Structures are given as C-alpha cells and as structure tokens.
Structure 1
Amino acid sequence: MELEVRHLRVLVTVADAGSVSKAAAKLGLSQPSLSGQLKRIERVMGSPLFERSPTGVQPTAFGRFVLAKARTVLAEMAELRPDSTRRNSGEPRQRVVRIGGVPGPIVSRLALCLRRRYAAGAGMGDTEVHSHVEQSSISLMRLVGSDRLDGAVIEEFAGHELTEVPGVQRSELVPVEPVFVALAEHHRLADRRAIALEELAEESWIVDPLTDSGESSHLRTACQTAGFVPQIRHHATEAAAARGFVASGQCVSLAQATSHEGLGIVVRPLVGDPIVRRLEICWSDRGVIDGDTLRRAAIEAYLGIVDVNPSFAYWWAAHPEVHPNLD
C-alpha cells in the first residue's frame, strides 16, 4: 500500500477526535474499517502512530512528527484547490477570508482591520483571515481570479498597466504614492529632508531582478531625465538581504514611502516625486468579501500606516488631493 492524501486526512481526523470511534463517525466509516486502515498505515510507516487506551488514542512521539507533516501537506493541498471547488463539494468549512498584497506594511494592517471588523460583526466572530504576500500584482490578480484569494492590494506604475483578469474587479485605493529612497543612516545625505535624484548619480543601486511592476524601469527613466545612468551593481529578491546591503553603505535603493526606518537605514523622499505608484484593491464577485467591505478595510489599513515614516507623514499632510474617500 502506498500512502495517499486520504490516509493523511484519516490520521489527522483520528488525532483531532482522540478516539477511533469518534473519528469513524466523522469519516462515515465503521470502527473496524477505520481501525484496519490505521493498522495498514502504521505498517507502511514502520512504527505505531497512536497509543491505544480504554479512554481513546494519543499520538506517539513518531505520530506527532507524522501528524505535523500531514497537516502541512493537507494545508498546502487546500491552497491548490480553487475555493469554488470546495464550495461545490459540500465540504463543511469555517468562514475564511483570504487576502493578499504586495510587500510592505499594508497587508498585515489590512488583515488586522478585517479581523476587527469581523469580530465586531453579528455572527461573524469565527471568521478567520488568511494572508498571502506576493511581489507580482498580476500574480495576485490571477490568484483572485482563480478563487485562491478573495481580495488583494495591488500596485501599478504608469506605462506598466496591469492586464485585466476575467472575473476580477478593481478599485482605486490611493491614486498617487511617491517612491522614496533608502540610505544608510551614516550616508552623507541621510540628514536631508528630501534628496534630489541627481545627487545620487555616483551611487550604486540594488534592485529586485524579479519584480514585474516596472519600478526598475521607472528608476532608469527618472535617472536618465536627471542626467545620469543608474549604476545597478547589486540584485536581491529578499528584503532582508537588500536591507543589509543598504545599511552597510554599499548601495542605495528605492523604498516604499511607508517603509520603516531603523536598523541602520533612513528612508527619504525624492525631490519632485520623480517616481510614483498607484495602489488599488481587487476582488472577485465569487469571493466571500464584497468590494465595499474590502475597500473600507483597506482605507482604514492605509491610514494606519501613513505615519510609519515621518517623512511620508509630512508628504501626506501636504497632499490632501490623494487621500482616499470613504463615501
């Protein structure tokens, strides 16, 4: 016998029920049939997975190890299945809202705002909020379109407009958000309130080579307009690695205006806002969250992060025309 996904579900159900008879009832099997399955699974694994007693069953040390792996596999399998498949299968499920977004503080704040809203809503206190952070906005839209996410916060740069995805609705969150620059705290320009892009002509830059938003292209265009070609000498797909390079003074990088300072880094605006992005939300009409709820929660989340960076808080106060409207 080869171990299959259904066998993992059996193990998890038995462990959660704490009793073979209770697990059999949940699985729609007879107790002798389930006991036989357990014995066959244990033979395949080569060691007992449960300790039997008159009061029920408890996982052995090896059983706890196997169960941890089984739960991970089942969770990953669930993520691979479109939500519409689960809805139509008749499987009972807890209400889960799955939101996504581009990297930055907005996704964690959005998840928190939704949790608070659902906790305050009548009969919705048991709603879980799951999240997924993804660099690619088009990938996020496709996840929404395939029912793997219910909604997401996405970004768009002029000239690199996102392709429409069937079944995905979009709405503006913030029409203009400037892109700032991150410098080492000991950098010669770190004490400036704002930095002219041409002052960075001799600097080395670090970029993410996998991003498809168009941000790197905008960097090159803005630098050329300022009279120089950016010296992109470093590439990193992982934020902590990029932060380490910047903090050590080896290079500078573009940064979200809502980025946290500290750990050796300061984040400053660029004079004249030569690079900007647009933030939107997207959702599916088939999802469990409607566009108005998502929009209100996203606005609340965004307003909660505008003062993360004092430089952006100053910029934000000076540009009321880009403030989102709850009406």
Structure 2
Amino acid sequence: MDKLPTLAKMMSRLRLKQLHLLSALADHGSLLKAAEKVSLTQPGASKALQEVESIFGMPLFARTPRGLVATAEGHCAIRYARLIQTDLAQLHDELEDMLQGQGGRLNIGVIMGAVPLLAEELTRLLAQYPDIAIGIVEDTSARLLQLLEQGRLDAAICRSSVGAQPHLYESVDIHHETLAVVGSIDHPMAARERLELADLGASRWVVYSANMPMRRLLEREFHEAGLRFPHQLFETTSTFATLALLRRQPDIVALLAMDVAEFFASLGIMRILPLRLKSRSEPYQLVTRRGAVLSPAAQLFLRSFPGPDSDYPQP
C-alpha cells in the first residue's frame, strides 16, 4: 500500500474493542485466547481483526503454524493501542476520584535542575491536598514541550525558549538558576581555593547536547575566556549517568544546576569546584499549553506555586 487512510477515516471506523483485541493478541499470540480475553467468539475476533487491518490498510499480524505474529506495523499499532488503553484507565480513575470528592491527578514535567524546586513545592501541595495523585516526567525542555503539546502533561517546569513554536505556550518565570561546576570527591583540583576556566580547559566535560541552554552557556563561557571549547565530551541528559561517570573518572567535570549540585554534595557524592561562572542562565519557567483547559489538580498546582517571579494568582 502506498498511502495510509486519512486520520479522520481511521477515527470514524476504529472501535475500542478492536484496540483491546490488538493488545490481547500481542499478549497471547492466539486468536482463541485473545477472543476470550476481550469477550468475543473466535469468529467474532477473526472478523474484528480483519476489520482493523482493513482500516489501517495493511496486515498487522502474520499467520503462522505457531499462531499470530505481529508485523513491524502491527507492533506499532499495538504500542499505540496500549497507550490509548492506559489513557482511558487514567481517565476512569480521575473521574472516579472527582466523583468521590478526591483530588484528581496532576501530570507534571520537569527538567533535571528544577527537580529540587518541584519536590519542595509538591511537598507543600500534598500537605494541603493529600488526595492528589501525581505523575512526574523528568526530561529535557524540548521533550517536555512536546509532551505538553500532545496533552500528556498538565504543566512543565522548563524553558519555553527551546520550543519551535513558543506562541503555543503560556509561561511564567519562577526561578533564576545558578550553575555549578562539579567533580568527583577525589577531583585533583577540589582542594584549590579558586579556579579559572583555563584550569579545566583540558578536562573531559559531561555536558548536555548541542543547542540546549546549559550547553550554550558553557560554550559562551569558553568563548569569552578566549578558550577553545573541549571536543572530548560526554553528552548526556541523565543525572545518573553524570554521577556514575564522576565516580569512575575522578578527573572529569560536569555542569549542573546549583540546587542539584548542593543536594548531591551534601550526600558526599560529588564536590562543587571553586569556579565562578560569569554568564547567567535562563530562568526556569512554569509552562502550560495556551488555551488548555486545566484539571482541578493542575489549577491548584499553578495557583499555589511560590516564588517572587510568579505571576500566577495566589489562592
């Protein structure tokens, strides 16, 4: 097939029972067992599978002597069928909570540097509203903005400036980030009273990928110091990977948000090196989709969020 049916045509023909059948077939590999799982007869399940393959315009399962085996396209359809089922389950649970007068659910995204800030705020929120269920996604600003656009997050603490379409978001500055250069507890320069960037010019750095705000700030620091930006880098957005690398290789350094660095330094996991950066990073923002209808839990979160930069009205 050269062309998929239109999305509108798919949505008009697909039924939830068919998506449930796809998941059951993936779990059991047998039409009979899948039919039992979704409360269909075997002929009914066979007809439903034919219908869904007709809707997509392609076979989703190969018929083999050992049973039904998902094709590459079938695996893709199964993955999204399960996502839809998960979303429906969350919808059911949230509506049930609302009917019982409970707090509902808050889905919040956060960049790594703002995790301590979010943890502090959620502690305050739950002290007032203990029945709220909370889902947290930690990722880069770019990924969190995508999840906001898809409606999978109510709000995110990140930077809207990295988005391709900043007009899609409502954003409020909530916290000005300070950055720290860190090393392992055994870093050879950790005992120095003061460091200059040139002292670490030959070091291997753990950094975010190109074009991310923290990476751009570090590149600017090297440029303004008249130094060549290091080429021997570890590029990662993973805090755990950063910690593991610092632990295994005492001479490498990394750039972290000061709140995060102080947390791990207090646990004796790393050292904050005595290097003061001249550049100021972009502030964290509390970001929502423009025009989005927010859940009661999300409204509570936004209204109660503290900070001198916040423009959200206090309850």
Shorter-normalised TM range: 0.5 to 0.7
Aligned match of 1:128 in 109, 130, 133?
133
Give, as a single letter, the amino acid of the residue that structure 1 aligns with 2:233.
H
Q: Distance in 2 between matches of 1:75 and 1:223?
A: 47
Partner of 2:282: 277
Give, as a single letter, the amino acid of the residue that structure 2 aligns with 1:220.
E
Q: In the TM superposition, what whole-angstrom CA distance separates every residue of 1:54-86 from its partner, at most 9, and x where no partner exists? A: xxxxxxxxxxxxxxxxxx9987335678x9xx6
Q: Distance in 2 between matches of 1:170 and 1:289?
A: 19
SS at match of 2:295: coil
Structure 1, unpaired ranges of 5+? 11-32, 45-71, 120-124, 301-322
Query: Residues 139-158 of structure 1 correspond to what in structure 2 (within 5 A)?
Result: 139-155=143-159
Q: State the TM-score, normalizing by the size of structure 1.
A: 0.57
Q: Do residues 101 (structure 1) and 77 (structure 2) align?
A: no
SS at match of 2:188: coil
Q: Distance in 2 between matches of 1:92 and 1:291?
A: 14
SS at match of 1:190: coil
Q: Distance in 2 between matches of 1:298 and 1:134?
A: 20
Q: Distance in 1 between matches of 2:38 and 2:148?
A: 42
Q: In the TM superposition, what whole-angstrom CA distance separates every residue of 1:187-212 from its partner, at most 9, and x where no partner exists? A: 23323566432332222212233x65
Q: Distance in 1 between matches of 2:198 and 2:164?
A: 33
Partner of 2:74: none
SS at match of 1:199: helix
Give, as a single letter, the amino acid of the residue that structure 2 aligns with 1:201.
G
Q: Do residues 203 (structure 1) and 217 (structure 2) align?
A: no
Distance 1:78 1:193, change over 3 A: farther
Partner of 2:242: 242
Give, as a single letter, the amino acid of the residue that structure 2 aligns with 1:146.
Q
Q: Distance in 1 between matches of 2:162 and 2:20?
A: 43
Partner of 2:187: 187
Q: Distance in 1 between matches of 2:218 and 2:37?
A: 64
SS at match of 1:219: helix
Distance 1:37 1:272, change over 3 A: closer
Deviation at 1:111, TM superposition (A): 4.0
Distance 1:292 1:198, change over 3 A: farther
Conserved 8 A contact 2:111-2:157:
yes
Deviation at 1:7, TM superposition (A): 4.8
Q: Percent identity?
A: 14
Give, as a single letter, the amino acid of the residue that structure 2 aligns with 1:103.
M
More helix by share: 2
Deviation at 1:258, TM superposition (A): 0.9
- Provide the alpha-carbon RMSD of the alignment: 4.1
SS at match of 1:130: strand
Query: Residues 1-327 of structure 1 correspond to what in structure 2 (within 5 A)?
Result: 5-7=19-21, 37=39, 76-78=83-85, 92-94=95-97, 95-104=104-113, 105-106=115-116, 107-119=118-130, 125=131, 127-135=132-140, 137-155=141-159, 162-165=163-166, 167-174=168-175, 176-192=176-192, 195-209=195-209, 212-237=211-236, 238-247=238-247, 248-259=249-260, 260-261=264-265, 262=267, 264-268=269-273, 270-284=275-289, 285-289=292-296, 293-295=300-302, 297-299=304-306, 324=309
Give, as a single letter, the amino acid of the residue that structure 2 aligns with 1:131.
I
Conserved 8 A contact 1:145-1:165:
no
SS at match of 2:306: helix
Conserved 8 A contact 1:101-1:153:
yes
SS at match of 2:205: strand
Q: In the TM superposition, what whole-angstrom CA distance separates every residue of 1:17-71 from its partner, at most 9, and x where no partner exists? A: xxxxxxxxxxxxxxxx989927869x99xxxxxxxxxxxxxxxxxxxxxxxxxxx
Distance 1:78 1:222, change over 3 A: farther
Deviation at 1:233, TM superposition (A): 1.5
Distance 1:195 1:5, change over 3 A: farther
Conserved 8 A contact 1:179-1:277:
no
Q: Distance in 2 between matches of 1:193 and 1:93?
A: 58
Q: In the comparison of the two structures, how many residue pairs are matched?
A: 236
Deviation at 1:149, TM superposition (A): 0.8
SS at match of 1:77: helix
Q: State the TM-score, normalizing by the size of structure 2.
A: 0.59
Give, as a single letter, the amino acid of the residue that structure 2 aligns with 1:6.
H
